[in-house]
Amino acid sequence: MIKWESKALDFINQTSRWDKEKHISSFLAFSISLVKNLLLADVALQLEFENEHSAKVKNASPNFHNGAVVNPDPVRQLLYRNAFKTIYWPEFPADNPLNDQLEDLLCAVIIPINIEPHNSLILLGWSDPQDFDAGFQDCIETIRLRLKEILAQTQERLYFQGIAVRFAAILHSLPHAVVFINNDGYAGWVNQKAADILGLAGPGEQLPAILSDAMTHLRNKAMNTEDIYNTAIQLFASPENTISGWEWKIGGESPKTYRVSCLPVASQRISGRLWIFEE
């Protein structure tokens, strides 16, 4: 006798231990493949409703289903008729709108996953008869809740990664050096201009300790270190203090004067200081 409760717990445990270092876009594909293996299905795939006129197959196993475009209207009507609850098909109905995806199969389960802006369904199919008993259905409903969390997490992470890419491109194109140091002590960021000024290997994420050392090294080359030090005391007297037009006169073979601004950054997700060096 199959222990469906153990299958559901195994799915939750394995998706909870998923390697977070991997790209988030692979998380859902991993999860759908895991469902297929745990439930011994022959086909598992995601159908994403991209817009009013198109639904596309993604994260399919076997992967030859990927990229197929499905007319979304009959599928949506099917979901509406079933109140967006999981659909269990021991046998396929005559008006099955997913014939191409269920070819050579005998039974299937359709799991709606409603996450805006792009709702999806997960389809599982078997080539042998299956007993969709109460234990199996409880297992599916537990997996459905976890899949909804996974899909929401995937969409959120991809959205914020897209924002990060756009803003990084903007900040890298600025003519000024930009340095951000997070108050958490673990995160910092520089654009290419700042990396050049601070003698770092390249732009992007940097540990705050590395950025602080690099900025200290730059400050120590200044010809007005006492003025810089006195102004720094006033700046850091309060986390809300800001400064602009602060001159750092750097000596050496190619003397330069930087007009430095330092601004506090505070939001629900992040807090720190933004440094801007203008030549």
Distance CA 142, CA 109 (A): 14
Query: Same domain, yes or no, for 58 and 143?
Result: yes
Task: Say if CB 111 and CB 121 are below 8 A apart.
Answer: yes
* Nearest CA-CA partner of 246 in 273, 265, 269: 273
Is 178 found in the same domain as 148? no
**Are 218 and 131 within one domain?**
no
Give pLDDT tens digits for 55-87. Answer: 999 999 998 889 999 999 999 999 999 999 999
Contact (CB, 8 A) for 136 and 4? yes
User: For residue 105, what is the domain's CATH number?
Assistant: 3.30.450.40
CATH of the domain at 209: 3.30.450.20
pLDDT tens for residues 141-198?
999 999 888 888 877 877 777 877 887 788 777 889 999 988 887 788 899 999 999 9
Spatial neighbors of 127 by CB under 8 A, at least 6 apart, are 42, 104, 105, 106
Structure-block tokens of residue 166: 């756009």
Residue 35, domain extent: 4-164
User: Do residue 243 and residue 214 come from a single domain?
Assistant: yes
Out of 129, 164, 199, a domain closes at: 164
Whether residues 108 and 217 share a domain: the answer is: no
Q: 169 in a domain, yes or no?
A: no
Final residue in a domain of this structure, among 132, 164, 196 = 164
Closest CA to 156 of 27, 16, 15: 27
Q: Is the pTM of this model over 0.85?
A: no
Domain count, the chain: 2
Please indicate, yes or no, if residue 95 is contained in any of the structural domains: yes
